[in-house]
Amino acid sequence: MSASVFVINAGSSSLKYQLVAVDSGEALASGLIERIGETTGRAMHQVPGRDDVVEQRVITDHAHAFGWVLRQFDAHGPDLDEAQLIGIGHRVVQGGARFDRAVLIDDDVAQQIDDLAPLAPLHNPANLQGIRSARATFPGFPHVAVFDTAFHLTIPPAAHRYAIDERVAADHRIRKYGFHGTSHQFVSRRMAELLGKPLEQVNTILLHLGNGASATAVRGGESIETSMGMTPLAGLVMGTRSGDIDPGVIFHLHRTAGMSIDEIDTLLNKRSGLLGLTGTGDMRDVQQAADAGIPRAVEALEIVAHRLRGTVGAYLAHLGRTDAIAFTAGIGENSPAVRTAALSGLEGLGIVIDPERNAGRGERCISAAGSAIEVWVVPTDEELEIARQVAALVG
């Protein structure tokens, strides 16, 4: 068996993990613990080819959760020694302007992740909690932080700076950071392989469309523009997030509707996007409703597509020359209708989807033979990308 990496994604009340074989990319085991710290928790451990272990139980904190995970590996496998575990990879959401790549975690790095908490108050403290518990659970192993923002630190100032008072921006570290970097990096590399060209010569537009959604323009393997901003609220229409709106809306809601900042935060992050437009944040349900002719679902898809098309158009301009557009994540990989809608009307710019290829499944080219810019579906694998980055650092 080749080396493996234990990949951890810790949320404030959840813990997701995967044991990844680095060479094959295979998931040797995975699991999810939910509602940590609540009165009813749920824990699941999955090993391919075996029955899932699912338990309803109280899980008091992340340390308790890791104890449960270790017991599952002992009882149900796979054996971590046999799996040749070489390190632990931690997904960390916000790496600020400091972390442009994955790093070995020591006390200083942990402190810096903590210092970045004001920029990602819902995520970094939870990621750090996971890191602390995991370091106690796996003391003999190197722990590596892989940042969602790192891939985007190549975005030039013209694209990452906001046109606000420079002192205010500097004092509060306000700029575009971008997110989904691990996914965009994985897909951009894969896209170069699929085109059979060196990464340095390939320009791509990547559309990561899941519950969260972001677009990135990649020139020669480097992110030069992305749609999320200082926070993951900016850009495309998402499951429950609004994406771009006029910031003036926030002042208006506060002054005129009497909403507090927290209420507006909840409105834009949790009650907007597809959910706000249609009553459901799940794209499958929206499509079903649109297929049944329900007007607000039809219109929601038009809004999603309009935003996507405008973003693709802008990125074509930023890149100058584009080799390929790649769709990934839950919606990007599985919805022919969203892909068609997003790129419809761009035939004059050399982007032509082939309906039959678009209707297929799996990793494939979906553009027509004569399309000047190729269009692809490339399934993302963030855990594998994290595992590879850990292996590159510690291997």
Give the separation between CA 214 and CA 163, rounded to whole angstroms. Answer: 21
Closer residue to ligand AMP in complex, CB, 165/363: 363
Q: Is 323 a catalytic residue?
A: no
Q: Which residue is nearest to ligand AMP (CB)?
A: 330
Residues of this chain that bind ligand AMP (CB under 6 A) = 210-211, 239, 282-284, 287, 329-331, 334-335
Give the separation between CA 125 and CA 145, rounded to whole angstroms. Answer: 13
Neighbour order of strands in the sheet with 213-219: 222-226, 213-219, 203-209, 324-328, 374-377, 364-365
Closest separation in Å from C-beta 232 to ligand AMP: 12
Give the separation between CA 381 and CA 301, rounded to whole angstroms. Answer: 26
Determine which one of 23, 61, 148, 171 is catalytic.
148
Cβ atoms within 10 Å, residue 314:
15
Sign of CA dihedral 109, 114, 119, 125: positive
Closest separation in Å from C-beta 245 to ligand AMP: 20
Closer residue to ligand AMP in complex, CB, 133/335: 335
Closer residue to ligand AMP in complex, CB, 244/282: 282
Closest separation in Å from C-beta 211 to ligand AMP: 4
Closest separation in Å from C-beta 30 to ligand AMP: 14
Closest separation in Å from C-beta 99 to ligand AMP: 24
Closest separation in Å from C-beta 179 to ligand AMP: 13
Closer residue to ligand AMP in complex, CB, 180/219: 180
- Cβ(376)–Cβ(187) under 8 Å? no
Closest separation in Å from C-beta 51 to ligand AMP: 24
Closer residue to ligand AMP in complex, CB, 267/337: 337
Closer residue to ligand AMP in complex, CB, 4/335: 335
Contacts of 107 (CB under 8 A, 6+ apart): none
Closer residue to ligand AMP in complex, CB, 41/332: 332
Closest separation in Å from C-beta 341 to ligand AMP: 12
- Cβ(239)–Cβ(281) under 8 Å? yes
Give the separation between CA 299 and CA 304, rounded to whole angstroms. Answer: 9
Closer residue to ligand AMP in complex, CB, 235/239: 239
Residue numbers annotated as active site: 148
